[in-house]
């Protein structure tokens, strides 16, 4: 990781020399950006674990970056969702020997030693189960548990460094929550149990498909194979109708799952979603998921509707009570409402068009140290118990912007989280 800036600096110096000899500046800068992007992919892909997770998160939020900056990195970061460097075949066989027994080959009619996809702590192989079903076999990288725990340990050590940039925030609590959820991903039996719950809840669903689990162990999970077009490919070259439908079904899955199975998928990047031939949305990788047994928390729904209906005093009182205000002295009711207004904008329209330009505008405003929005953000905090929901919502919005999706998203909210839309002045539940 430390070598990344050194390599980029070295290429920049070489580029300066080439410009002095009269070569075209734009061509040189484009070439340097492409090489830097490839180095980012190579380093994060080889490191796997926490570093690769960072890269996968970056692959979603490139939608918030200006096009001239994001474009060279888009392809390299997208590759982290499925094409990271594989582990040697002999290692794969050793893990299968340990997890499924030395006679594991008898459980398969065929097994492809070349990985079909790569994840942050494991890679996926295509195979045929003994009963003839095509299956996906996810095999954890040897030592991934130790490497990931080391990454998390380093992150905890950096907590004091983050503190000055997150005024009022309990950074340690946030890191502890992230670490706890990440640790769960190391045991594929937990992932398998979650996937079984999702698959049961969405069995025969007309819009969403969840592959069923065939077998599982601590470091290997076998599920039914799902054939479809990766969402990353739809982002790259899908037609507008496909983009719109994929975005609508992504939103449907996100908001319906807490009610239907008490869980929420917590790893929103295009590598975890497929568009099937019949238009349904396929969902993969349930290692990162968390329980919401009572559905989307009512406090979050109430915050949304108070912001939506411009009730600043009540909004700040609720945010303060729920632990979202770190420094009340620096937060006025009007500032809080203004801060949240762009985020509830999609709920003001029967149909909304999520675009990169919309997200870039928001990111530019909120990232400007001179802006009122940035100053307001320093008075706010993120309670640890809402960290994963925030991750899912922000990542999913970024994916909708990558898709350039326009659809009647309000109908989904009205069906699965109607409390968000109720008028707080006329609804007796809200008044209570």
**How far is it, in rounded angstroms, from Cα 182 to Cα 176?**
10
Overall pTM surpassing 0.85 (yes/no): no
What digits encode the pLDDT tens for the residues 294-316? Answer: 999 999 999 999 999 999 999 99
Q: What is the pLDDT along the chain (432 residues), one digit of tens a residue?
A: 445 444 544 544 454 444 445 555 556 555 655 566 566 555 554 555 555 555 555 555 566 665 655 555 555 555 554 555 678 899 999 999 999 999 999 999 999 999 998 777 889 999 999 999 999 999 998 888 887 777 777 767 766 665 555 555 666 777 777 777 778 888 999 999 999 999 999 999 999 999 999 999 999 999 999 999 999 999 999 999 999 999 999 999 999 999 999 999 998 888 899 999 999 999 999 988 999 999 999 999 999 999 999 999 999 999 999 999 987 788 889 988 899 998 999 999 999 999 999 998 988 888 788 888 888 888 888 888 898 898 899 889 999 999 999 999 999 999 999 999 999 887 655 444
Closest to 43 (Cα-Cα) out of 4, 73, 95 = 4
**How far is it, in rounded angstroms, from Cα 57 to Cα 5?**
20
Residue 81 contacts residue 269 (beta carbons within 8 Å): yes
Torsional class of 132: left (φ above 0), alpha (ψ -120 to 50), beta (otherwise) = left
Which pLDDT does position 18 carry in this prediction?
47
Q: How many CB atoms lie within 10 A of CB 114?
A: 10
Angle at which helices 298-308 and 312-322 cross, to 10°: 160
Please enumerate in sequence order all residues whose Cβ is within 8 A of that of 125, keeping only pairs 6 or more positions apart, or say none.
Answer: 92, 111, 112, 113, 114, 115, 116, 136, 137, 138, 139
**How far is it, in rounded angstroms, from Cα 244 to Cα 405?**
4
Q: ∠ CA(204), CA(115), CA(102), 5° rounding?
A: 90
What residues does 380 pair with on adjacent strands? 325
Largest pairwise CA distance in the chain? 74
């Amino acid at each position: 990781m430390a070598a990344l800036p050194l390599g980029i600096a070295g290429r920049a110096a070489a580029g300066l020399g080439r410009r002095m000899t009269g070569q075209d500046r734009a061509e040189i800068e484009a070439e340097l950006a492409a090489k830097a992007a490839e180095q980012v992919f190579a380093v994060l892909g080889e490191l796997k674990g926490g570093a690769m997770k960072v890269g996968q998160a970056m692959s979603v939020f490139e939608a918030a970056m200006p096009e001239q900056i994001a474009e060279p990195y888009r392809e390299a970061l997208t590759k982290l969702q499925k094409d990271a460097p594989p582990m040697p075949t002999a290692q794969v066989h050793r893990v299968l020997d340990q997890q499924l027994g030395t006679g594991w080959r008898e459980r398969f009619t065929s097994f492809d030693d070349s990985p079909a996809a790569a994840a942050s702590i494991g890679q996926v192989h295509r195979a045929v189960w003994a009963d003839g079903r095509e299956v996906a076999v996810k095999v954890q990288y040897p030592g991934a548990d130790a490497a990931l725990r080391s990454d998390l340990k380093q992150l905890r050590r950096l907590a004091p460094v983050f503190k000055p940039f997150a005024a009022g925030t309990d950074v340690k609590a946030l890191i502890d929550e992230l670490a706890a959820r990440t640790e769960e991903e190391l045991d594929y039996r937990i992932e398998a149990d979650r996937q079984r719950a999702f698959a049961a809840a969405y069995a025969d669903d007309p819009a969403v498909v969840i592959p069923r689990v065939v077998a599982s162990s601590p470091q290997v999970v076998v599920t039914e194979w799902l054939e479809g077009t990766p969402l990353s490919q739809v982002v790259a070259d899908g037609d507008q109708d496909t983009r719109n439908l994929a975005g609508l079904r992504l939103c449907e899955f996100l908001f319906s799952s807490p009610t239907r199975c008490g869980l929420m998928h917590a790893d929103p990047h295009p590598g975890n979603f497929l568009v099937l031939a019949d238009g349904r949305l396929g969902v993969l990788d349930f290692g990162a998921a968390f329980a919401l047994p009572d559905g989307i928390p009512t406090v979050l729904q109430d915050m949304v509707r108070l912001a939506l209906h411009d009730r600043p005093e009540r909004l700040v009182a609720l945010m303060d009570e729920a632990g979202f205000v770190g420094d009340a002295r620096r937060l006025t009711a009007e500032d809080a409402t203004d801060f949240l207004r762009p985020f509830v904008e999609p709920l003001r329209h029967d149909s909304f068009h999520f675009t990169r330009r919309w997200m870039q505008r928001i990111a530019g405003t909120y990232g400007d140290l001179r802006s009122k929005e940035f100053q307001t953000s320093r008075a706010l905090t993120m309670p640890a118990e809402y960290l994963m929901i925030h991750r899912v919502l922000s990542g999913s919005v970024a994916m909708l912007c990558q898709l350039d999706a326009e659809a009647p998203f309000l109908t989904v909210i009205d069906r699965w989280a109607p409390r968000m839309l109720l008028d707080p002045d006329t609804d007796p539940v809200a008044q209570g």
